[in-house]
Amino acid sequence: MITSSILVIDDDPEFVEIMKTVLETKQYSVSCAYSSDEGFAKLEEDIPDAILLDIMMGRGAEGFIFARKIRKEPRFAKIPILMLTSMREQTGFDFPGERIHPKFLPVDEYMEKPIDPQVLLDKIEKLLARKHAV
């Protein structure tokens, strides 16, 4: 059985550990980064099958910048990204209209924290199935 690899990028170590535990229940190989810079370094080491990415990290919306940057890099452009955020809970802000937009928010899926583990696993499975179908 080939195991899919997932890169989790979030600046909350407790959340990262929870995501790692949930993903490992389905035998995913999980690597973790706690900043966008560390995420880029992990991408240079090994290209994952999918990325779980927090929007709000460090000095602000580093997840946006990270997503836009890797979409411009041909080696990484096709990696499915599942954006995770608690922005609406923390700020009251929500995206008007379509949340996922190729220029504004270039990700494949979007989830609000707190994350339901089964919904997360279902979304990951669908992202990976789409990636392998192409």
Which tokens is 69 given? 């940057």
- What is the tens place of the pLDDT at every residue in 36-91? 999 999 999 999 999 999 988 877 788 988 999 999 999 999 999 999 887 544 44
Tell me the pLDDT tens digit for each residue of 104-115. Answer: 568 898 888 888
Q: Classify strands 81-85 and 109-112 as parallel, antiparallel or unpaired.
A: parallel
Give the strand order in the sheet containing 81-85. Answer: 29-33, 5-9, 50-54, 81-85, 109-112
What is the pTM assigned to this prediction? 0.86
Q: What does the domain layout of the chain look like in residue ranges?
A: 5-124
Asked if the model's pLDDT at residue 4 lies above 90, the reply is yes
The single-letter code of the amino acid at 134 is: V
Classified by CATH at the fold level, domain 5-124 comes out as Rossmann fold (3.40.50)
